[in-house]
Copies of this chain bind each other. A is one copy, B any other.
């Protein structure tokens, strides 16, 4: 009844749960408890229950969750039951690689178009999947014609802000950005940035530390580095 904010941490975990449920479905397992899910996939059972509880009461006390049913429910919550139509700006190597990336199709995202400004690329069909490269100058028009609702930015950092502006103007509401550049956020627009530079430099930081125990991390969160000796005394 009341308006509730769902943390993106929660929805990210829903994706993970869905992936786990797909694995269970493949094994023909019909029902699973939060404890079972947690043990099998190294999650926390209380967190699973709490995440799901934001959206409804899907479990049966004394039993657990019905795998197939929960799978459908999560698919609906995440909006993966509807097709999304993707345009990729930047037909360089990264853009091309993404156009062919199978993971898109699995989540019901279809790459419809590439966009570039290079005369040599415009009008050609690129990649294994032979996606047509449109002129970025015709971006808004193509978005409308092709019903594109998701845009991927795969251009060099210096052009990202400008491209982002055009994307917003064309009425796009969801953007996945690969340029290492913090774009000016907009209301009502979902902007998700995948910053490879930060990921790399995090690895570099780790390698630069005098090796100590602990320090594994898979997700995006809560990870800790070990910092064995404060540098204050050394550097001051």
Chain A residues within CB distance 8 Å of chain B:
1-8, 11-12, 14-16, 18-19, 41-42, 54-57, 77-80, 82, 84, 93-94, 96-97, 100-104, 106-109, 127-128, 149-150, 156, 173-177, 180, 182-194, 196-208, 211, 213-236
Instruction: Specify how many copies of this chain sit in the oligomer.
Output: 2
Q: Which of B14, B149, B185, B196 contacts A218 (CB 8 A)?
A: B185
Decide: A216 and B187 in contact? CB cutoff 8 A: yes
| Cβ of A130 to closest chain B Cβ, rounded Å | 13
**A150/B207 contact (C-beta < 8 A), A101-B93, A101-B196 known:** yes
Q: Which of B11, B54, B103, B205 contacts A77 (CB 8 A)?
A: B205
Decide: B192 and A217 in contact? CB cutoff 8 A: yes
Decide: A216 and B201 in contact? CB cutoff 8 A: no
Decide: B77 and A211 in contact? CB cutoff 8 A: no
Which residues in B have their C-beta under 8 angstroms from that of A207? Answer: 79, 84, 149-150, 173-174, 190
Which residues in B have their C-beta under 8 angstroms from that of A3? Answer: 226-229
Which residues in B have their C-beta under 8 angstroms from that of A218? Answer: 177, 182-183, 185, 191, 193
Bound Cα distance A217, B219 (Å): 18
Which residues in B have their C-beta under 8 angstroms from that of A41? Answer: 182
Decide: B100 and A201 in contact? CB cutoff 8 A: no
Bound Cα distance A108, B193 (Å): 22
Decide: B5 and A226 in contact? CB cutoff 8 A: yes
Q: Which of B4, B222, B232 contacts A227 (CB 8 A)?
A: B4
| Cβ of A92 to closest chain B Cβ, rounded Å | 8
Decide: B97 and A200 in contact? CB cutoff 8 A: no
Decide: A203 and B190 in contact? CB cutoff 8 A: yes
